[in-house]
Amino acid sequence: MGFLWVLVAALSVIVLICVFALVDQYQSLELIRAALKLEDNPSPIPFASDGSVKPSLVGLPAELDQQSYLPVLFVSVSCSTCRSIVEGLRRRDFDLVWIVLQHAHSEDEGRLWLEGLGVPLARTTVDVDGSVAQAIGIDTVPAVIIYGSGEPFLAQTLPSFRQLQPLLKPREMAPDMTPPLPFAKEGTVRL
């Protein structure tokens, strides 16, 4: 019987050492991710605040200028993160988002990519020549720019769908509050 107690104690020590080793590995992994900047954090994208990036002025439909809240999502056919973000949108309301698809070789290729993901084509622009993204100053995908009545107030990269979710709908406001999200100048966010 004493032998069993010694065996149980030895196994308990081994399990405890393994748990401490896993905690140490997790902490090391977090340090490595932070050092390599692999964290799931969006980066601000600077944009012109002089009214030159209204949807109608950059090549998007003019009716988008009138929407009180409009996330414009920039994705690419060659980006796996972009694909996962668009797939995440299938569970959401597409009526609130406009998608600009980049890096398609042709309009047809872009439309096939979008149809394959179940994206309503009426809410998209296939930016074959990159002119829409260039006019705004978007050079990274996936990215999002948020418009309020035709005026941009936030632009950032999207490392995951998790970062897009809070931007899909404006925050609820009390009657005495101002803008739904903190207004940003040159792509920075005030919190």
Q: pLDDT tens digits for 46-61?
A: 888 787 888 988 999 9
Tell whether 163 and 78 lie within a shared domain.
yes
Q: Does pLDDT of 42 surpass 80?
A: yes
Tell whether 12 and 86 lie within a shared domain.
no
Tell whether 31 and 110 lie within a shared domain.
no
Counted domains in the chain: 2
Supply the pTM of this predicted model. Answer: 0.70
**Structural domain harbouring 140:** 55-167
For the ranges 70-74, 160-164, 182-186, which has the lowest average pLDDT? Answer: 182-186
Q: What is the pLDDT of residues 79-131, one digit of tens each?
A: 888 998 998 887 766 667 899 999 888 999 999 998 888 888 888 999 999 89
Has residue 177 been placed in a domain? no
Has residue 5 been placed in a domain? yes
Tell whether 64 and 153 lie within a shared domain.
yes
Tell whether 18 and 111 lie within a shared domain.
no
Confidence class of residue 39 from pLDDT cuts 50, 70 and 90?
A: low
Tell whether 87 and 141 lie within a shared domain.
yes
Has residue 90 been placed in a domain? yes
Tell whether 105 and 139 lie within a shared domain.
yes
Tell whether 101 and 73 lie within a shared domain.
yes
Has residue 132 been placed in a domain? yes
For residue 118, the model assigns a pLDDT of: 86
Tell whether 5 and 77 lie within a shared domain.
no
- For residues 155 and 71, give the distance between their C-alpha atoms in angstroms, rounded to a whole number: 9
Q: Pick the residue with more confidence: 35 or 28?
A: 28
- For residues 74 and 145, give the distance between their C-alpha atoms in angstroms, rounded to a whole number: 8
In the chain, pLDDT over 90 holds for what percent of residues? 27
Q: Does pLDDT of 181 surpass 70?
A: no
Partner residues linked to 151 by β-bridges: 148
Tell whether 22 and 102 lie within a shared domain.
no
Contact between residue 154 and residue 181 where contact means Cβ atoms under 8 Å apart? yes
Tell whether 68 and 128 lie within a shared domain.
yes
- As a whole number, the mean pLDDT across the chain is 82
Confidence class of residue 178 from pLDDT cuts 50, 70 and 90?
A: very low
For residue 93, the model assigns a pLDDT of: 65
